[in-house]
Amino acid sequence: MYTPRITKPTALTVSQLTQYIKSTIESDPKLMMVFLTGEISGLRMFRPNGHNYFVLKDSGAVISATLFAGYARSLKFRPQDGMKVICRGRIELYPPHGKYQIIIEDMQPDGVGALNLAFEQLKKKLASQGLFDTAHKKPIPRFPRTVGVITSPTGAAFQDIKNILTRRFPCADIILYPTQVQGDAAAAQLTQAVTELDASGLCDTIIIGRGGGSIEDLWAFNDEALARAVYACRTPIISAVGHEIDFTICDFAADLRAPTPSAAAEIAVPDRMELKRHYNALHKNINALVKRKYDRRSKRLKDTQRLLEAHSPQKSFDRYDGAFRLYETRMRNAMEKRVHTSENRLKATAARLESLNPLSVLSRGYAVAEKDGAVITSKNQLSEGDRFTLTLSDGQVPAMVTGE
């Protein structure tokens, strides 16, 4: 009769079992590259290494996830709790915890592009820090002497900007700071260009931009360092990236956003033909205004002259002088008449007096007898022997009364 030999089973250590499971899982080709979709939860980033730890979950299960710093830096967006993502990675088991996890090598937002999400995240961050505030934006100079252009020297954008600037305002100088406008090195070159061109003090206005392209082509203008350099730029800066429908972070940080590079050139300088028409119109308006004022002032001056002439002191003097001369003539005539009358009257009086003059009577042979100063008018006034005086026309002689 055969009696089987019973062998005692071998007991495994926890480490042995875990290592067996680990090797089984990590050697399975299906688990070396898996794509998972789920919601991020419990996101933690450890510094200074920058590794990210979280779980991916859906309505029925949870899996731990690790995103090492090297892979995290290559993402275009910043993972956040509650975000639905699609991850690519490999499944590993972490023996100290006895838990399997996914080591994520790439991640994309589920339902929205990573670049779009990164754009919105950076836009929100910088807006909250005041980099887009309108109060900070500087006015674009009306008549710049020098315009700086930051773009690719071989692109059509620069030729468009150059042609328009030269045609519209040829007296403005153009300084090109050549940079890459797409690719890994573009953002750093653009940032350096803004900083150095601003520090040079050579420009009155700076245009930064490029022609159209996909969001990937324009991504260098969504760089945070570039946005901060544009914000800090003391020279007024115009951002002109892509076509009219394209928006970049650089557009929001700049003092002014132009829909295209050509539009930026038109904004940066005035049109000399428009200026000529404007100043010609101003010249005509000024001439018309001056003529109107001259006509009004001339009429007012003539009215004043007529008024002054009507009330001229000379006219008043002439009027009063004429009256004075008239009165003078009248007075002279009256005086002459009065003098003549008085003279005639005086002559008549003199004649009468002359006729009554005793000397005139005496000259005709008469004499006047006087005694003791009294005129003798009667013989009875004298007696014999009285002495008296006879006054003749040519003098006096003594006389005496004698008897008959």
Boundaries of domain holding 371 = 360-400
Average pLDDT over every residue of 344-357: 76
The answer to whether position 345 is within a domain reads no
Closest by Cα among 63, 54, 69, 73 to 34? 63
Q: Are residues 89 and 196 in the same domain?
A: no
Higher pLDDT, 13 or 82: 13
Tokens standing for residue 190: 């653009």
Q: Are residues 97 and 162 in the same domain?
A: no
Contact by Cβ (8 Å): 88, 105: yes
- Per residue in 290-317, pLDDT (tens digit) is 989 988 988 888 888 888 777 767 766 7
Backbone angles phi, psi at 231, to 5 degrees: -65, -40
Domain final residue pick, 270, 290, 312: 270
Query: Percentage of the chain with pLDDT > 90?
Result: 40
Closest by Cα among 79, 57, 59, 77 to 67? 79
- Per residue in 94-135, pLDDT (tens digit) is 888 888 999 999 888 876 667 778 888 899 999 999 999 999
The answer to whether position 203 is within a domain reads yes
Angstrom distance (rounded) from CA 276 to CA 284:
12
pTM, 2 dp: 0.57
Provide the Cα torsion 132, 135, 141, 142; round to 10°.
110
Q: What is the count of structural domains for the chain?
A: 3
The answer to whether position 369 is within a domain reads yes
Q: Are residues 183 and 240 in the same domain?
A: yes
Contact by Cβ (8 Å): 160, 261: yes
Angstrom distance (rounded) from CA 232 to CA 137:
10
Q: Are residues 107 and 193 in the same domain?
A: no
- pLDDT for 48: 76
The answer to whether position 190 is within a domain reads yes
**Angle CA 197–202–205, to nearest 5:** 75
Give the C-alpha distances (Å, rounded to integers) separating 67 from 54, 74, 78, 82, 314.
8, 11, 12, 16, 110
Identify the CATH number of the domain in which residue 226 sits.
3.40.50.261
The answer to whether position 280 is within a domain reads no
- Per residue in 199-215, pLDDT (tens digit) is 999 999 999 999 988 88
Q: Are residues 45 and 145 in the same domain?
A: no
Question: Hey, is 178 helix, strand or coil?
Answer: strand
Pure H helices in 2-97: 14-27, 29-32, 69-73
Average pLDDT over every residue of 149-167: 95
Length of the chain: 404
Q: 207: which strand partners?
A: 149, 238
Residue 190 pLDDT level (bands cut at 50, 70, 90)? very high
